[in-house]
Structure 1
Amino acid sequence: MKKLTIILVLAFIIGCKKEGNSNSGKVIADVNKKTTLKKQEKKDHQIRQIKKAEIAPNVDGNMDDPIWNETKWYPMDQNWIGEFPDFKDFLGRYKMTWTPEALYILVEIKDDILYDQHKDPLKLWWDDDCVEIFIDADNSGGEHQYNNNAFAYHIALDGNVVDLDSQKKPVLYNNHVTTKRITDGDVTVWEFELIVYDDTYEEGKTNDPVVLSKDQKLGFAIAYNDNDSSKERENFMGSVFVPGQDKNQGWINADIFGTIVLVE
């Protein structure tokens, strides 16, 4: 009887060990199993069709190119930073067109004081009056603060173009955006030619621009930093509604960009 009891106890211990080893193997397998998380796709909003130009506009700050008579104005009426300005202080609108080589943007700003306090284009550039163009070549959305998933070009009054690079440093991108500005009284007309680059762009290397084509979608927004002689900008007026309390998201998150569709 004593021997039988010992045998039963041993059998029970061996069975528990086998079960424990089996579960341990399962746990290890679960830990080592890789899980692929799918990136959340951008939800298209403010979808606008942009007409192709048969003849590219001259970037001269004038509105006399034929295509500008065939395209509509869109407002820059979303208050991203500061108090909503009086219409006597600020009023902004823009038009767009495209060719396979570039996007073209015409901007008209009513602003009675143009302020450029920082002569160094890489110092506090956002606190001077400037137009800011946001572009996402594949309309993928997502974070782009210190990478080239999208670009946030700040175009200063003197024509310098600034954005942050992957090293978190400001860089001049003057070869990406050509601009001409004409001011008459309190109205300024800016004309831009923007060469589009995608997320393969690398600073300091030779990069091929995106060839634009019919039905292509791009993420896009545009804004104006307005400063009437303060230490910091007083208003930041954008073209796209941004939900939530923090509306200054364009330089970080391309999900807030609208969507433009290139048509003929």
Structure 2
Amino acid sequence: MEQRQAWFARHAVAAAGVPFARCAMRCAPPCNPSGCAPLPREGCSWGAVTDLCGCCSVCAAGEGEPCGGRGGGPGGRCAPGMECVKKAKRQAGQCVCKNDGEVCGSDGKSYGSSCQLRAAGAAVRQVRKGACDQGESPRITIPPKDIWNISGAQVYLSCEVIGVPTPLLTWKKVSSGHRREKVELLPGDRDNLAVQTRGGPEKHEVTGWVLISPLGKEEGGEYECHAANAKGEAVAMATIHVVESLKDIPTPSLGMKQAHRPDRGPMK
């Protein structure tokens, strides 16, 4: 009973605006988590930390928010990676990021500090210190070329793209039906088709290939090289023509040269 009264006294004082550091003296072991107030349904912007009594989870104070005591405040303690800086011992402090300065996130955005980046979510990681490059939407430097070849041959399409941050390159096959257009993300479940992607040859550049072996009539059609990053996207198309005999291949043709030079294809 005395333990429960002590718990309510501690939280009642904190709710009334009395600095939480003063309440630390009222902590009554052992801890009883069932008596802790729940965290907000929408979650905590800067994550959750344990209160000064080491018992309840509370929302952490974020960068620039008030704090008190030894790294703690009325609503909790400073978030990880921060410290409570006070101008005077008896005054409330302010949460400040220990590692100050801009950083670049994996989402291509610049953050004022590593603490702000962590607050953006677990999916975003730090790429480097300093602001991100200004950014550049994807640009296809070498588009795929049309190909003519017979069934059973080995052919490939290649595509080079560049952008900042480095674009994500994907391939799609576009088929036109009677009523609607069908788009298939490659490689799909095709046993005779493989997709390869490799960084380079330049910085922020990506090269991708679609390798088909053996070539069948169902592989004929339009193929799309698609590049995307946080700044935009770019698309280039090429067509694979499956013919009955070598006589049906037009000459001269870049597509024919590409089809007959597999040694210039993707690395195996």
TM-score (norm 2): 0.21
Greater Rg over alpha carbons, structure: 2
User: Which structure is higher in strand share?
Assistant: 2
| Relative contact order higher in (CA < 8 Å, ≥ 6 apart) | 1
